[in-house]
Chains A and B, each alone.
Chain A
Amino acid sequence: MSEQVSASAPPQMVNVQINGVWHEFPKGTRVIEACEKAGSYVPRYCYHKKLSSPGNCRMCLIEMGLPKMGPDRKPELGADGKPVINWMPRPQISCAQDVSEGMGIRTDSPLAQECRKGVMEFLLINHPLDCPICDQAGECRLQEFSVEYGRADSRFLENKVKKPKNIELGPRVTLDDERCILCSRCIRFCQEVAQDDVLGFVDRGSHSVLTAHPGKRLENNYSLNTVDICPVGALTSSDFRFQMRVWFLKETKSFCTSCATGCNTVIGTREDVIYRQTPRENDAVNSSWMCDYGRLNFNYLQSEKRLLEPEILSGDKLVPSDWNTAIAHAAAQLKHFSGWEIAIIASGRMTNEELWLTRQLATTLGVDLIDIVPRTGPGDDILLSVDRNPNTNGARLLGVTSYPGARLREIVDGVASGRIRGLVALGEDAADIGLTPAQLAGLPAFVVLNLLANNSTAAATALLPSFGFAEKRGSMINGKGRLQRLNRAVRGPGQARDDWEILRDLIQAYSGRNGIYSIEDVFRQMSESVPALAGLSLSKIGDLGVQVLEIEQSPAPLWELESEKAAR
């Protein structure tokens, strides 16, 4: 109902009294949000700011009043010059109304407290209270609000309502109906965001249960968001279920590198093992959601195919080595050739810092033939981008490619004709661009930097194991031109090293010390040369990123689309 306030005009402000103190809020602010901003968090279950408000949980009941109107139809003013408030006798929900001029709100009055206690008790009488074995324990709103509004004892002497348990709603989501508090967040998410109306309530009253139609499954690419927004342990991730108590998880803010969208995430880890990724709110990127594909795309970091130690070619086979030897070996191999005899295959999955150093390496070696490998897949109009490289824009900006993949043919032909004799493959499988095992095996110098063994690693003359996205720091520019920052969530395995360090060491093998001791140094060098990054640093990127490129015809951020939809 709220009027759309255009970005240019300053929003109209309204005065609202919350718990006796007057505050100003932009017109169109939800009461529940206003209370939160004023420091009086109102507990809620069904309300989610990115979804419609059904007002069904009744947890956010507060006392509300409107200005008392005098005979002249103007608000009567009290001794303090502020409007006198007419308090409504009945409690009101705070999730479905916007603030208005002169409105009064009491979030902690005896009535509001009593309402919450009543609702808490109702929600728990038929709840299984199986917290010790519930995955939600530790991040469960029932637990949290029980601390504040729950009773220590139960007055409920009856049998609880029995409902279905352990239902596979789809390949990734498991449902326990007895824990469900029927808030309908998941149903609304499927209808309003995922556009896959697959969940619903059946039966009635206290016996209502959440379900999918027996012939349908919750298998859309956004299904795991329902687990995130489920305020209780009803919907759980089949992948994460029973793997780790959430309070043991270390949380690291990062973003997803599975496509050019770069959804902001929190990576949950314990002792260098990643247990889950969950979306982190960023209205400029991913609203509050992420796709299942990206979310679950981290297990490769814990795969048996990880490269754990540097190897060099000795005779006709690769043998383990140490880093100093391996770097020296790789540099020596490439030194045999002139720049025009070398090609570099870089990757759109590399960070800006790595791409910058790649560019430096190319300059040092006098290499001109360099490109990244394009990577595409079916996209959708929600979050998943057709471009599955997270940093194509970074590669363009830093001059590693002008049109991704345009020069790969040249590299293949060069190798085939024998002109290219030294090949550097950074984070990509050279076999993927059409080079045959025989061609690769015939290369006198084939330096491979990667984190996983692949079809071409066996042909390497120097194999340099590197880090995955969760193991390193660095920045990338997403498909819409936003610079975002990766943070280290876990340490890399074995002797694998951070990619930027490997590249720096390679460069230093040619040119000696270059004053780069930390990734901050790389970024500083880069920002001094690249106008789009001028004045920035890794710390200035912050948790939500910085817009650095104006991308033409970039689609509107999801949040805007959602707002438009809500307005309709």
Chain B
Amino acid sequence: MTGRFVSVDSTNKRISAELERKMDEAISRYPSDRKRSAAMPLLHLWQEEFGFISDEGVGWIAAKLELQPINILELVTFYPMFRQAPAGKTHIRVCRTLSCAMVGSYQVMERACAAAGIVRHRDDNGMHHPFSVSKDGKYSIEFVECLASCGTAPVCMVQDELVENVHPENAPALLANHQSLITHHVPPPHPLEYRLIFKNIGRHDWSPDIDCYLRNGGYEQLKKAIKMSRTEIVNEVKTSGLRGRGGAGFPCGVKWSFIKADEKKPVYLICNADESEPGTFKDRYIIHEDPHQLLEGILISCFALNAKTAYIYIRGEFPEGARILERAIEEAREKNFLGRDLLGTGFDVEVYIHRGAGAYICGEETGLIESLEGKRAYPRIKPPYFPAVLGLYMCPTIVNNVETLCHVKHIIEMGGGKYASLGRPNNTGTRIVCVSGDVQRPGYFEIEVGAVTMGQLIYDMAGGPRYGRQIKAVIPGGSSAKVLRADERFKLKLKQPDGSMADQEVSLYEIPMDFDSLAAAGSMAGSGGVIVLDDSRDMVWTLNNINEFYAHESCGQCTPCREGSLWMQKITDRMLLGGGVVQDPDTLKNVADNIAGRTICAFGEACAWPTQSFVEKFRDEFAARSQKPVPPPMPPEYTPEELIDHDRIATTPLKRNPGREETATAGTI
């Protein structure tokens, strides 16, 4: 372990007064006895200044926060955005996750490396994807997991900039002039859309500053809310039937009512802006295009919950989003929408930005809370650590998704009853659905919940499959949702023309896009990320890509997920290389069964459901790659490589080679 620190401890630079001032400012954002929370902000500041976190940096930050160096080292090695060695002058992150991999991110990586003269190496046994630096030190490149822009796949980050629609042939241009590659534009709303949150997005006269926001009725709902009683606001939210848009779909008003009205401890509100479920890319655009809408939702919620401090936990890969929100907070402060004595109400409220650093598990609310406390994002056991009782700093805490908090503003505007009339009972309001994968017009669509079917979404709104292709399967709620086959039939309770409810057998395309219907179909609405797979897709490859994501993102705290997620990846790795044995599909399914429902947090289900559903629903494809006899348990020196080399299974070549990390296999299988 010691070895890796010897060569990198070369900063030995003086900490400038400016850096220290910034650090002190960061520390001041947390309660004075909770300095540890500033660990990640300080690590970001250190890396921005010196390019990487040296051993000296670990020691210095630990001393600054009165911690032990191990406390900081634990973070540096947990969060992939923190580097322990210098990167190139230009650092490129290539998204490796499903939607991007489907349209060529592995080829992007290959070509970018060739152009930059980078010979990629892979740490045989490391957790994070290693980054590789060109000999001249000009460039460095790494694979990263989902950058939350699946609608414009493949995407890369060059330094802090997101570069969208990077076609493999354009990859070399990443090195030169990346800005010009941004091709993202917002199409006008589709007629099937119902826009509340995205009302202003893409308007030619719209800008994300506060003046524009105020000209369009901004902060009027905050003004309205502060004249209401706290209970009235909570009741409106309850009446609205709003369900969380982050993935679990928990009723927001019920969550809020867990906070006691006479709570003595400080109450915290946390906005979960750690958007990272593959296939989901809505929060990024809310933050970028309409930050004040989010801020207004947060401030109304703070007022309703008597939360005097709110943190926006924004994923580290959204540096621009963090800057936009910081600016919005300052603008709002100037107008006294936050800060001391909000609009003369006597209510003091502060909103702070807290940046993550590349860990999907921070999307889990208790993992997020641990991360915000300056620790590894290990989710907490529930009971006893229900956030509403023992949350941030063991105080009552409400964690809500970005989109959910935006809806609060509209609930105040419309009234809970009116809001509840949108959508379907128990599935109220609007929600933003993100479509990516094999469709002609990937993107986000704000729909009335349940008012649009899967067919309308995919064919009418997203343009349907590419020419000559047919849809094979759909992952309806982010990559952790169970896959649905295009030719499946589902039994749902649906509203009949006469208004009554009745069981009805429907096709995939007839499923209404709402929480309950997708749950009844055996999957979930999740985070609203719909990934479409057409008939050119190899399901073993697809599952392998998803498995790699979850194996990479497992926090490693509890046994089933830590061991099972990597095991599942290794099995599908081997199957793709022609080394599948007859028992592999059953083993895969059983490993997944042994994870789901037995872990500390919902990540267990998230990583098990894809395997369970892919193996079950595409059994023939998995069986085709699993034809070898089960090897005898002895001799012990037997290796999986031998299994692969010996009588490699002849499988039909992939119709389109989507690429994968083959260099890895020697080390990881």
Contact = CB atoms under 8 A, between A and B. Distances in A.
A55 interface: yes
A162 B125 contact: yes
Given A53-B381, A96-B381, A216-B70, 15 more contacts: A119-B594, A154-B633, A156-B567, A157-B574, A158-B567, A159-B667, A159-B668, A182-B559, A203-B78, A203-B127, A204-B555, A211-B73, A213-B69, A213-B73, A216-B68
A61 interface: yes
B598 A203 contact: no
Interface string A196-217: 0111111111111101111110
Interface in B578-604: 581, 583, 587, 593-595, 597-600
A170 interface: no
Contacts of A200: 70-71, 73-74
B13 to A, nearest CB: 19
10 contacts: A118-B593, A122-B560, A155-B583, A198-B70, A200-B70, A203-B126, A205-B555, A211-B73, A213-B70, A214-B1
Interface string A515-532: 000000000000000000
Interface string B526-565: 0000000000000000000000000111111111101111
Contacts of A154: 633
Interface size class of B (residues with CB under 8 A): 35 or more
A168 to B, nearest CB: 10
Residue of A93, A97, A125, A158 with most partner-chain B CB within 10 A: A158
Contacts of B663: none
Contacts of A159: 570, 639-640, 667-669
Contacts of B587: 155
A36 B567 CA distance: 33
A61 B598 contact: yes
B77 interface: yes
B206 interface: no
Interface string B364-403: 0000000000001010010110000000000000000000
A199 B70 contact: yes
Contacts, number: 174
B290 interface: no
B128 interface: yes
Contacts of A61: 598
Given A115-B598, A158-B570, A58 B669 contact: no
Interface of A: 1, 53-59, 61, 90-91, 93, 96-97, 114-115, 118-119, 121-123, 125-126, 153-159, 161-164, 167, 181-182, 197-209, 211-216
Contacts of A164: 1
A156 B551 CA distance: 16
Interface string B282-315: 0000000000000000000000000000000000
Q: Which 10 A-B pairs have the closest CB atoms?
A: A118-B594, A207-B127, A122-B563, A208-B556, A202-B77, A55-B381, A158-B570, A206-B566, A213-B69, A200-B70
Contact of A58 (B70, B553, B556, B599): B599
Contact of A123 (B2, B55, B73, B559): B559
Given A118-B598, A205-B551, A58 B128 contact: no
Contacts of A207: 125-127, 556
Contacts of A209: 1
A198 B69 CA distance: 8
Contacts of B567: 122, 125, 156, 158
Contacts of A182: 556-557, 559, 562
B202 interface: no
A167 B2 CA distance: 10
Contacts of B130: none
Given A57-B558, A58-B559, A96-B384, A204 B599 contact: no
B250 interface: no
A157 B559 CA distance: 19
Contacts of B570: 158-159
A57 B597 contact: no
Contacts of B594: 114-115, 118-119, 121-122
Contacts of B556: 182, 201, 203-208
A53 B385 CA distance: 12
A163 to B, nearest CB: 8
A56 B600 contact: yes
A155 B566 CA distance: 14
Residue of B128, B381, B551 with most partner-chain A CB within 10 A: B381
A164 B1 CA distance: 7
A91 B597 CA distance: 7
A197 B70 CA distance: 8
Contacts of B384: 1, 96-97
Nearest to B638: A157
Interface in B27-76: 55, 58-59, 67-71, 73-74
A214 B669 contact: no
A165 to B, nearest CB: 11
Contacts of B254: none
Contact of B125 (A57, A161, A208): A161
A123 B563 contact: yes
Contacts of A53: 381
B263 interface: no
Nearest to A97: B383
Contacts of A204: 77-78, 127-128, 359, 552, 554-556
B137 interface: no
Nearest to A127: B563
A176 to B, nearest CB: 13
B571 interface: yes
A56 B557 contact: yes
Contact of A55 (B5, B59, B600, B668): B600
A198 B71 CA distance: 8
Given A199-B70, A213-B70, A58 B560 contact: yes
B631 interface: yes
Contact of A215 (B59, B571, B599, B600): B59
Nearest to A61: B598
B196 interface: no
Contacts of B583: 155
B70 A93 contact: no
A439 to B, nearest CB: 52
A1 B5 CA distance: 41
Interface string B486-522: 0000000000000000000000000000000000000
A206 B59 contact: no
Nearest to A157: B640
B598 A91 contact: yes
B25 interface: no
B73 A56 contact: no
Nearest to B79: A204
B181 interface: no
B7 to A, nearest CB: 13
A119 B59 contact: no
B477 to A, nearest CB: 20
A56 B558 contact: yes
B59 to A, nearest CB: 7
Nearest to A123: B559
B661 interface: no
B175 interface: no
Nearest to B563: A122
A477 B65 CA distance: 45
Contacts of A54: 378, 381, 557
Contacts of B73: 200, 202, 211, 213
Contacts of B381: 53-55, 93, 96
Given A56-B600, A158-B669, A205-B562, A214 B2 contact: yes
B69 A215 contact: yes
Contact of A214 (B55, B554, B563, B597): B55
A269 B52 CA distance: 52
Given A122-B564, A182-B556, A211 B1 contact: yes
